[in-house]
Amino acid sequence: MSRFALLGAASLLALFTALPLYAEEAMHLSVADLYKDKAALNGKLVQLQGKVVKVNNEVMKRNFIHIQDGSGNQEQGTNDITITSQETANKGDQVVIEGKLVLDTDFGYGYVYPLLVEEATIKPAP
């Protein structure tokens, strides 16, 4: 192998090992944004910050947490987003959540969600 080919191969190898593996970066959005752009955001990783207004722990092996951030319209039901998580928070907590947005989730037993953030991580808001 020529010296130039070896140098080129070594450079490519160094470039690819130095790059991090691709990880989807969450989009920071408001609750209203989630409802407004739900079709385009379906299946995407999203992040939002807000206040915990309702908590239902250990329902169907997950915790259901409702978040509001002051955006959206209460009459239209676009001011509140439900998340599911193995983590939990307390009512009144200010949190940052990150998870995958999914549409039209039906868990059965009357648990139907046109919009849901699943498998979310929950951290205290800064």
Write out pLDDT tens, residues 29-59. 999 999 999 999 999 999 999 999 999 999 9
CA distances to 19, 54, 85, 107 from 59, rounded to whole Å, are 41, 13, 10, 11
Would you give the distance in Å from CA 19 to the centre of its chain?
Answer: 24
Rounded to whole angstroms, the Cα distance separating 46 from 26 reads: 5
What average pLDDT values come out for the chain (126 residues) when binned by 10 residues?
51 47 76 96 97 96 97 96 98 98 92 94 96
pLDDT > 90 in the chain, percent: 73
Domains of the chain as residue ranges with CATH: 25-124 (2.40.50.140)
